[in-house]
Chains A and B, each alone.
Chain A
Amino acid sequence: MAERYSSFTPGGTGWLLQRITAAFLVVVLAFHFFQLHFVNHAADVTFAGTQARMENVGYFLTMVLFLIAGTFHGVNGVYNALVNQGLKGTQKKVVLAVLVIASVALIVQGIYVAMAMAGVEIV
């Protein structure tokens, strides 16, 4: 019976990171929503305004972290959900690969966008 279980211990780290990112996200997501819908109304968003915010290094870093945390949290959540539903074997590996590629793409694209917003020269 016991041999049915693999000996390495996945999940534990993922589980913890899911909680840590969640805790971080609560704060930032609330801030983000508040900022863009209540302080600055979404309808009034302009590139100039965005640029002004992004040029602040603190804000920039926060947003990048927000992106990474959100992506990890969301993608890891989706992955866990699928695994919990009984995904295994090659299928599982394929899904993991696709998700990792998608997240990396999302993060790269996101950072690229943020840099553009901040007015950093992109080659």
Chain B
Amino acid sequence: MSTQQQEPEQPESQETPKDPEMKGAESPVDEKEKETGEIDQTTADETELEGETVLIKVFRYDPEVADKQEPRFDEFHVPFEKGMTVLDAVMYARDHYDSSLTFRHSCRQAVCGSDAFFVNGKQRLGCKTQMADLEHPVRIEPLPHQEVVKDLVVDMDHFYDQMHTVEPYLQQDDLPTGDLEEQRQSRENREKIKMSTRCIWCGACMSSCNIAAGDNEYLGPAAINKAYRFAMDDREDEEVKEHRLRIIEQEHGVWRCQTQFSCTEVCPKDIPLTEHIQELKREAVKKNLKFW
């Protein structure tokens, strides 16, 4: 919020969607393809931007409102400030130009995972992406491969379902006796699972994966990573690990992954997702070999 106190005299520059091409297009994305050449021409230089306005093109859609039922892009000119993030920009547009602009956001510090958007063709966290690092104008869309609820808000239920499928909780019944006795875990083991525990459920990875897009039942990188987090945790017994491997080697589990790496590339928490998936594949094979 604090970014937005200055420059109140900014003229009401909200653009009505005037791109005639956009209107009635089967898909705005398609139209965008034709445009990209022109869109991505100007590259921003931080010093150049100081004191200027930047142009953002934001995807708009609302199933309830007549003129938003046909998806379109709205343009907003937002005064640039040093340090401005994509989230700051859309918040500014919402608070000053169009209060119906809708998106999820909360922490503003990359821990709540609410604001994964499709920014200039890549899944990114709005709050963690500097405007100055992007090509301008900046195109902001909801996450691909998920149903759009409204504007930048997508339906996350499917993602949550997949996360829940892998039984995401420690399963250990033999707890040390005595209330204050903790389970021991070696530093190495904690180090091993460290990266996998960082996931903030933003859904960027799932959205970037072509396989997940094609197969709705594919567990997806985030859920598999969640399974990895427990399967590799020494605090669980061997049988539980086997049980976990059985879950992830289902038809729509790890084998679906074609090592496209895009999940790893977009993950804002730098979790080596592909590596974790591959390791689970090997673990599953090893487990099966034992029984031959």
B-binding residues in A (CB < 8 A): 1-2, 4-7, 9-16, 80, 84-86
Contact = CB atoms under 8 A, between A and B. Distances in A.
Contacts of B217: 4-5
Contacts of A85: 214-215
Given A85-B214, A86-B214, A9 B250 contact: yes
Given A11-B255, A12-B255, A15-B255, A5 B247 contact: yes
Nearest to B246: A9
Contacts of B167: 2
B251 A12 contact: no
B34 to A, nearest CB: 27
B215 A5 contact: no
Interface string B250-289: 1111011010000000000000000000000100110010
Interface of B: 161, 164-165, 167, 211, 214-217, 246-247, 249-253, 255-256, 258, 281, 284-285, 288
Q: What does DSSP make chain B's interface, helix, strand, loop or mixed?
A: helix
Contacts, number: 53
B250 A6 contact: yes
Given A1-B165, A12-B288, A15-B285, A84 B251 contact: no
B162 to A, nearest CB: 8
B176 to A, nearest CB: 29
Contact of B164 (A1, A9, A84): A1
Given A2-B165, A15-B285, A84-B215, 9 more contacts: A5-B217, A5-B251, A9-B246, A10-B251, A11-B251, A16-B285, A84-B256, A84-B258, A86-B215
B161 A1 contact: yes
Contacts of B258: 84
18 contacts: A1-B161, A4-B165, A4-B252, A5-B165, A6-B250, A9-B249, A11-B253, A12-B255, A12-B284, A12-B288, A13-B288, A15-B281, A80-B255, A84-B211, A84-B215, A84-B258, A85-B214, A86-B214
Contacts of B288: 9, 12-13, 16
Contacts of A14: 255
B166 to A, nearest CB: 9
Contacts of A10: 251, 255
B252 A12 contact: no
B167 to A, nearest CB: 8
B87 to A, nearest CB: 32
A7 B167 CA distance: 15
A84 B214 CA distance: 7
A100 to B, nearest CB: 18
A5 B214 contact: no
Nearest to A14: B255
A81 to B, nearest CB: 9
Contacts of A16: 285, 288
